[in-house]
A and B are shown apart, each in its own frame.
Chain A
């Protein structure tokens, strides 16, 4: 409706394409080379000093990966070249980038987001000494007292070999899908969390406190075990754009929610828009356990991510909240999967997507009720907001019901920003951009209010950045 100038603040638009030259500056001691094969895996195992079972696990996964055909559903993966990627770069090598090498526009974005200096360096992949290491050690000490383990997965393999071995790959086997196989072969970093029976962790465990001890990888592997009656909230990611010289991020997250436990896993990710973000996340929830995924996806070139909950025993509950923001050149193929494997299990999926500047978001959902799983309830709500005529939104829901005694509801809505809404807000003094930003923030508010305070604030600011210069 308005005539505001377009693109005036384009330089700050974090969805803009960047060229990163970071990897040119790396001179790894370990001779990383592109592509994955047995010798790269063996070398990686040697450097990490991994036990034999893990080496075998990786090599086996690699065989599976090699045999899997390229994934054809979801988004367009034809440009993804597995041989053009570094699969292992030692953390110490990564830190040789310098802050001066970080492009100005990225620094400016950090300014706008109000990210503290130390954190910025980390986010830009500049591995400077980071205060959070101190914070992390304090937290670990605290957690130690109540028996909670919170480590990077590489360390956990050494310190808690039996526990890790017992669950690793049991929720998401290597053969599950192409990217799970790749991750199982090439994984590095990620978190390992164990919460003993009855222990309730009072504050969210934040991955980024941990991140600097093992630099954020592209193939993180996270395993969380919540023992009976325990409770934990894990938060990963950061709303600041995450710059990576590599164009593939493929994590695996496995969660075990034992009887009566409660786990919430919150992710806010904002990848640079050259990144393929292909993540497998799955939880098993046993009797009366409750699993909640809160998943926010911004940035990236293509995201394919469908957090899932398998409700294995009666009374289990799975909740999945997902927000996707697709800007120019981006495809967010996000969704959720719930499997009602036992009677009297309940699930709720809430998906909100925003598409702008030709961006595409799709909701891909799966609701499955096993034969004999009586008295299950599932409620799915998909809301899509499309900001302009070039942008797109689709839903691909699948519902498989093997049991007639179930109650499933599916609602889907697609909306546009209403002219009346814009006029109303503008008549109160808001510019068109402020008004549309406010409407978008209002649209995702039901999910944002589930986030920890500081993430909610950053999320709103990030939406503001995404909306800048977008009105025309």
Chain B
């Protein structure tokens, strides 16, 4: 049975300030959705909240994943159910190598009994190494990455690739990509785009948050949503990205009577 992520009338605030104001969205395994919206419209707020960030207050609404409400679950429990977030701004963890971290993460998410894991509950080293090496190769990530400290001194683009590497290793059911293309050079956008699309299949549903259609050239979304003032105001197909590209958000704002709060 397919594991769907269903968001119903979700209201989120940050430090008492309402940011998401009644959002409905559903992403099924195997589907590709794009979420676009101006700076500050609440895209990351939504993404972080779906993963369970403690800073964001859920005022009302539901987030159902695989038939169960996940709003009371810790981030790690959501990860184990198959949710994944590629961060817009990945955090640095000094002294922790990407490989050590990923081995623990993969073991936690895939479950301890699987893969004939050893008595320490971890996926066997050799198996893990092989898999990591293969995936790094596919993503064009340098071998030395595995030994480097997590995001420590990584360039902006390297951080984003490391996020996709984690996505590939953790094999989630639904992945949220928060501006994974920002900060990437043209070739890197292609590599990330191609690798994400290679991961896409009936088992992976994706919600891509982006400002640029370039990434979407590689990962053609079937559904495009526009977030304005804390709500999805337009949903459609590919043509929406084209319209945004030529006309910007202004016509949509006017249509829905929303004033730009930045001004």
Contacts and interface: CB of A to CB of B under 8 A. Distances in A.
Given A419-B55, A428-B166, A434 B96 contact: no
B31 to A, nearest CB: 22
Contacts of A424: 87, 90-91, 93
Interface of A is mostly: helix
Nearest to A352: B95
A431 B55 contact: no
A442 B95 contact: yes
A206 interface: no
B104 interface: yes
Residue of A418, A441, A445 with most chain B CB atoms under a 10 A cut-off? A445
B93 A430 contact: no
Contacts of A432: 74, 76
A441 B108 contact: no
A54 interface: no
B170 A429 contact: yes
Interface string A368-399: 00000000000000000000000000000000
Contacts of B93: 421, 424-425, 438-439, 442
A1 interface: yes
A423 interface: yes
Given A1-B54, A419-B55, A434-B108, A427 B76 contact: yes
Contacts of A438: 93, 96, 100-101, 104
Nearest to B152: A442
Q: What is the size category of the interface that chain A forms with chain B?
A: 20 to 34
Contacts of B54: 1, 419, 423
B91 A420 contact: yes
Contact of A443 (B51, B85, B91, B95): B95
Residue of B75, B93, B100, B102 with most chain A CB atoms under a 10 A cut-off? B75
Contact of B76 (A418, A419, A430, A442): A430
Interface string B231-250: 00000000000000000000
Contacts of B149: 442, 445
B52 interface: yes
Contact of A427 (B52, B55, B100): B52
Contacts of A425: 93, 101, 105
B74 A445 contact: no
A418 B151 CA distance: 15
B109 interface: yes
Nearest to B166: A428
Interface in A414-472: 418-421, 423-432, 434-435, 438-439, 441-446
Interface in B88-138: 90-96, 100-102, 104-106, 108-109
Nearest to A426: B75
A155 B238 CA distance: 85
B80 interface: yes
Nearest to B101: A438
B105 A430 contact: yes
Contacts of A47: none
B178 to A, nearest CB: 12
Interface in B46-82: 48, 51-55, 74-76, 78-80
B55 A428 contact: no
Residue of A421, A426, A441 with most chain B CB atoms under a 10 A cut-off? A426
Contacts of B101: 425, 428, 438
Given A426-B74, A429-B79, A445 B96 contact: yes
B108 A430 contact: yes
Interface string B131-170: 0000000000000000001100000000000000010001
B49 to A, nearest CB: 11
Contacts of A429: 76, 79-80, 105-106, 108-109, 170
Contact of A2 (B53, B74, B92, B106): B74
B20 to A, nearest CB: 18
Given A431-B74, A434-B108, 6 more contacts: A427-B51, A427-B78, A428-B101, A430-B104, A442-B94, A442-B149
18 contacts: A419-B55, A423-B51, A423-B54, A424-B93, A428-B105, A428-B166, A428-B170, A429-B79, A429-B106, A430-B104, A430-B105, A431-B74, A431-B76, A434-B108, A438-B101, A438-B104, A439-B93, A445-B149
Interface of B: 48, 51-55, 74-76, 78-80, 84-85, 87, 90-96, 100-102, 104-106, 108-109, 149-150, 166, 170
